[in-house]
Amino acid sequence: MTHRSFKLSKASRSDIQEDGSKHHFVELDSFVMTVIAGAVDLIVHDKDENVILDKKKRLDNQSKFAALVYKHRACDATLDHMLKSYQLSVSDPKNELVHLYEIRDALSKNFSSENAAIAQLGITRDEWNDMGRMANSLTIQQGRHRGEAIRFLRSAEPVKLDETRKLAARWVENILIF
């Protein structure tokens, strides 16, 4: 109809429910895929139709997290600082790694050392070091030491940036349940 090149794909189906929600059914071949996105509401089943992941569980976890934040934020200066740093990492993406690293710094200070923070919160040394490498890289635009860069700055790889965000978020959750 448009006289443009096209490719036919496998059939798929989307059902629109009465409440306006959509169910998308997709047939997949074997593949490797990296997706960086916000929270996608999927219900994932294994081959025996057992639910592996669903929206309700994600929403329940969010509610539990919010309740813990509400309960502890006013009386825990470290938690408050970490939440503000995470919020700034979202609203100030040019300095995202600076703000995420502040979470690591807050944990070190709260537990008197990085070794104590790692031990108390069940953080692995590799995770701790990964955060440090990302935030302290001289060549990443969002990093802490970009002013010392001699050469061209590059944007952080989206997958690595997402991994760093998840580490920081998990550390905030860890201090809530500590």
All structural domains of the chain with their residue ranges:
76-177
Q: Give the mean pLDDT of the chain.
A: 83
Rounded Cα gap, residues 97 and 12, in angstroms: 39
Mean pLDDT value of segment 21-39: 65
Q: pTM to 2 decimals? A: 0.68
Q: What is the pLDDT of residues 1-15, one digit of tens each?
A: 444 655 656 656 777
Cβ neighbours for 12, distance < 8 A, ≥ 6 positions apart: 24, 25, 26, 27
Q: What is the pLDDT of residues 137-174, one digit of tens each?
A: 878 889 898 877 667 888 888 999 999 999 999 999 99
Task: Output 23 or 117, whichever has higher pLDDT.
Answer: 117
